[in-house]
Amino acid sequence: MLNAAEPRPAAETEQAPSDSPQEVPTASKKRSETAMTNNKRTTPQVPMKDYYTVQDVAALLGTSQDRIREYASRPVDPMPFRLLPGLTRGMFINRMDLADWVWKNTVLAYKAKAKGPEDDSR
């Protein structure tokens, strides 16, 4: 009979090592795969910088690149993208110009929700 203060023999406390490799339980694998899938669906992170590309602005505003190009080419108050002389691709926008444009061309969310379909005023 063993006393509680006496150490137990190794045979009672340890299990024999198995020859088969340890498998991750199926539920854990599925959770892991789901987490990886969810990570792919997250919004791309755009670091703060002085100038943004069309792709950056689309990610920042949560819209498509095509919509950003539409905003840049509209006749009234276009999004102020710039190009280097002689180039037709590679538009970029200054961070402050973007912030000013967004301020002028958006409304507060609670005001947009309160606005009725017949009320078109800001």
- pLDDT tens, position by position, 3-37: 555 666 555 555 555 555 565 556 656 665 655 55
pLDDT value at position 113? 81
Domain boundaries, the chain: 51-105
The answer on pLDDT for 63 being more than 80 is: yes
Is there a contact between 66 and 55 (Cβ–Cβ < 8 Å)?
A: no
H-helix or E-strand spanning residue 92: strand 92-94
CA dist 69 and 77 (Å) reads: 13
Predicted confidence (pLDDT) per residue in 76-113, tens digit: 999 999 999 999 999 999 999 999 999 999 999 988 88
Exposure b/e, 66-76, CB count within 10 A at least 16 = b: eebbebbeeee
* H/E stretch holding 114: helix 109-114
What's the pLDDT at 3? Answer: 57
| pTM, entire model | 0.59
User: Among 72, 114, 70, 80, which residue's Cα sits nearest to residue 122?
Assistant: 114
Q: What mean pLDDT is predicted for residues 41-68?
A: 92
Q: Quick check: helix, strand or coil at residue 82? A: strand
Structural tokens at position 75? 């006749």
Element (H, E) at 29: helix 26-40
